[in-house]
Amino acid sequence: MASQALEISPASKTLPETTPNLMPFHINFSGLAPISTFFRVKDAPEETGHCGAAPESAIGLIEKQKKRFLAAFRGRTVHGLEVCVPEGYQGVVLRVEGERNDSQTREVEEKLEKKGKGKGKQTRRPTRASRRAQAVEEEECEREPAPSSQMEVVDDDETLLSLQANPEDENVRRLKPSATFSSFVLWNPDGPVDEGKDEYLRSLNEWMSISAEVHRVEED
């Protein structure tokens, strides 16, 4: 199997500033969601900010990363830590080219929401015959063949939005800058982020140390 090439397109305009959140789990969804209604972030009490000490080599890079947060996701407490991008660097958010943008996603979701509100809700108790017919219909749906790899979203105007990938581009993954950031929030489940043991902070600090040595220019 051939490896997939990575191609990053240059930014065509000034990118907006954002603050990404690095979550400790995977969400099998890509699109708009009412995050602020169920993911409420608050400042963590001072006593939750004490965790394992960081190694001396990393103290200089993370000494400003002391702003901590608390939130909950599906009943589970998550602890956040603001991580600043090292001085002289800038973070960039990359998105896969070809994905629907936010305005397209919002337009489709608004149409689907309006369509759902237009349908009246059944208030009468279903009869035995209707329940039997519904069971037969559900059984027939389960026997239908699986859908093809092409995903289609139908709006009120019967417009089809095809998300089928081009076979010629299967070996090239194109990324496009969509925003920049000077800090991000690193989240950890159940307890505060340990600055000395967290794999993401350690990777950042170790990479910074190696990069500084690789690009160091010795003066004559």
Write down all domains in the chain, each with its CATH number in brackets.
16-93+178-220 (2.40.128.680), 98-116+152-173 (no CATH)
Quote the tokens at residue 177: 């800058």
Higher pLDDT, 212 or 52: 212
Residue 14: pLDDT above 80? yes
Residue 96: pLDDT above 80? yes
Whole-number pLDDT of residue 99? 58
For residue 3, name the pLDDT band (cuts at 50, 70, 90).
confident
For residue 183, name the pLDDT band (cuts at 50, 70, 90).
very high
Q: 25-31: long-range contacts (C-beta < 8 A, 24 or more apart)?
A: 25/73, 25/189, 30/99, 31/105, 31/109
Question: What is the mean predicted confidence (pLDDT) over 42-59?
Answer: 58
Question: Residues 120, 123, 129, 130: what is their CA dihedral angle, to the nearest 10 degrees?
Answer: 30
| pTM exceeding the 0.75 threshold for the entire prediction | no
Q: What is each CA distance from 23 to 6, 9, 79, 162, 186, in whole angstroms?
A: 24, 26, 10, 30, 7
Whole-number pLDDT of residue 80? 95
Whole-number pLDDT of residue 148? 40
pLDDT tens digits, 187-219 = 999 999 998 889 988 888 888 888 888 888 887
pLDDT tens digits, 122-155 = 445 555 555 555 554 554 444 444 444 343 333 4
Residue 60: pLDDT above 60? no
Q: 40-45: long-range contacts (C-beta < 8 A, 24 or more apart)?
A: 40/71, 40/72, 41/69, 41/70, 41/71, 41/80, 42/69, 42/70, 42/71, 43/67, 43/68, 43/69, 43/70, 44/68, 44/69, 44/70, 44/79, 44/80, 44/192, 45/70
